[in-house]
Amino acid sequence: MAARRAWSAAVVSSVAMLWCLAAPPSGVSLAADVSSATLSAHDVLVSPNLPAVVEAGLTVERRGKQLPAPGTSLELVQDMRVLATAVTDERGMAALRFVPTRRGSQQLIVRTLSGSAVTATAAVTVAVWERRTPILTVEAAALRDPVSGEPSPDAAEELRRMTQFYYNVVYVVAEAGDSGRRLAAGSRMRQWLADHGFPVGYVLVSASPEAFGPKLDELRSAGWTTIKVGVGRTKEFAEVFVQRRLEAVVVPEPAKGEAPRKAKVAKNWKDVRRQL
């Protein structure tokens, strides 16, 4: 009997040892078969001294598929100071809440906490603007060549001049699809603007130029009534403003009949300021 008990104990011990060797180490199971992680965030528009919420999304690539990464801690950082923390939900999304103390268009960082199973970082702009400052709304398609993707001549320089003392700028990006695709589109646009020397502004992602209309109504109803002019390439974007009796400028000069009847036309970006 004693020999049988000893044999049973030895079997149990061997099985336990094999399980321990096969099991992944604690805390790295998320990254065990992950090839990369992507973190993106929506820009925020808020008035001074009011709470702001940065929405961020974290995905991981597993076996060729992009999947949400729940249960991961994120932090919002400005000048090495942590402003907020949050944990991603089952959709890989997290809401980082804080009250901005600075005014202007601020570039912040969202990142995974040190020691997380995955590592990722994203830039985000928090636009803390006075409501009385005029806002210039620019369609992203007007900033670059539709074929090469290169910046339109003089666009960055002219926008820098317009935003230096007078306008704040909203960049409108068209991207259909789910929230993950919209997050990624905003991040790509933000990086492209920075790479090509455009002024920092609020990047807003819309499903299409036409779909920006309801968002424009929402912004103006929320008190952003200084959004009075839109500069774009497409007829659909210009019509969003014309239909609301707001000013629209189409650049570059389109083919005859392609601009809405009440929209202004600029031959190039140097001509845009003369049309405002």
Q: Are 12 and 93 in contact (CB under 8 A)?
A: no
**Is residue 12 over pLDDT 80?**
no
Element (H, E) at 189: helix 179-195
Mean pLDDT for the chain overall: 88
Cα 75 from chain centroid (whole Å): 16
Q: What is the mean pLDDT of residues 128-136?
A: 96
Contact criterion met (CB below 8 Å) for 137 and 231: yes
- Architecture per CATH, 135-275: 3-Layer(aba) Sandwich (3.40)
pLDDT at 13: 44
Q: 19 pLDDT exceeds 50?
A: no
Residue 90 exposure: Cα atoms within 13 Å on the Cβ side: 0
For the stretch 109-122, pLDDT in tens is 999 998 888 999 99
Q: What would the 3-class secondary structure string for 204-239 be?
A: EEECCCCCHHHHHHHHHHCCCCCEEEEEECCHHHHH
What pLDDT score does 59 carry? 94
pLDDT of 200-228, one tens digit each? 999 999 999 999 999 999 999 999 999 99
Q: 64: pLDDT confidence band, cut at 50, 70 and 90?
A: confident
Is pLDDT at 2 greater than 60 in this prediction?
Answer: no
Q: For residue 180, what pLDDT is reported? A: 85
% residues pLDDT > 70 (the chain): 87
- Cα separation, 27 vs 32, in Å, equals 10
Residue 149's alpha-carbon distances to 141, 153, 189, 258, in angstroms, are 9, 12, 12, 22
Distance in angstroms (rounded) separating the CA atoms of residues 236 and 260: 9
Q: Which of 133, 136, 156 is nearest to 47 (CA)?
A: 133
**Which three-class secondary structure state does DSSP give residue 51?**
coil
- In CATH, what class is 34-128? mainly beta
Average pLDDT for residues 64-78, to the nearest whole number?
Answer: 94
d(CA 205, CA 172): 6
Reported as a pLDDT band with limits 50, 70 and 90, residue 177 is confident
Reported as a pLDDT band with limits 50, 70 and 90, residue 66 is: confident
pLDDT tens sequence across 53-62: 999 999 999 8
The pLDDT, as a whole number, for residue 256 is: 85
The pLDDT-based confidence of 147 (bands split at 50, 70, 90) is very high
pLDDT reported for residue 32: 58
pLDDT of residue 159: 97
> What pLDDT score does 15 carry?
35
Distance CA 230, CA 220 (A): 13
Q: Within 13 Å, how many C-alpha atoms sit on residue 180's CB side? A: 10
**Per-residue confidence at 24, pLDDT binned at 50, 70, 90?**
very low
Query: Given the structure tokens 């001049």, which residue do they identify?
Result: 161
Kindly give, in sequence order, each residue whose CB lies less than 8 Å from that of residue 122, ignoring residues fewer than 6 positions away.
39, 40, 41, 56, 109, 110, 111, 187
- The pLDDT confidence band at residue 35, using thresholds 50, 70 and 90, is low
Token pair for residue 209?
Answer: 């130029």
Residue type present at position 127 = A
Q: Give the pLDDT confidence of 231-271 residue by residue, as tens digits.
A: 999 999 999 999 999 999 999 999 888 889 899 999 999 99
pLDDT at 30: 54
Residue 258 phi/psi, 5-degree rounding, is: -85, -15
Q: How far apart are CA 135 and CA 225, in angstroms?
A: 9
Looking at the chain, the domain(s) classified CATH 3.40.50.1000 span 135-275
The candidate with the shortest Cα–Cα distance to 78, out of 58, 52, 59, 57, is 52
Decide if pLDDT at 27 tops 70: no
Residues constituting the chain: 276
pLDDT of residue 16: 38
The ranges of the chain annotated as CATH 2.60.40.10 are 34-128
DSSP assignment of 243-266 equals TTT-EEEESS--STT-S-TT-EE-
Q: How confident is the model at residue 31 (pLDDT cuts 50, 70, 90)?
A: low
* Element containing residue 108 per DSSP (H, E): strand 104-112
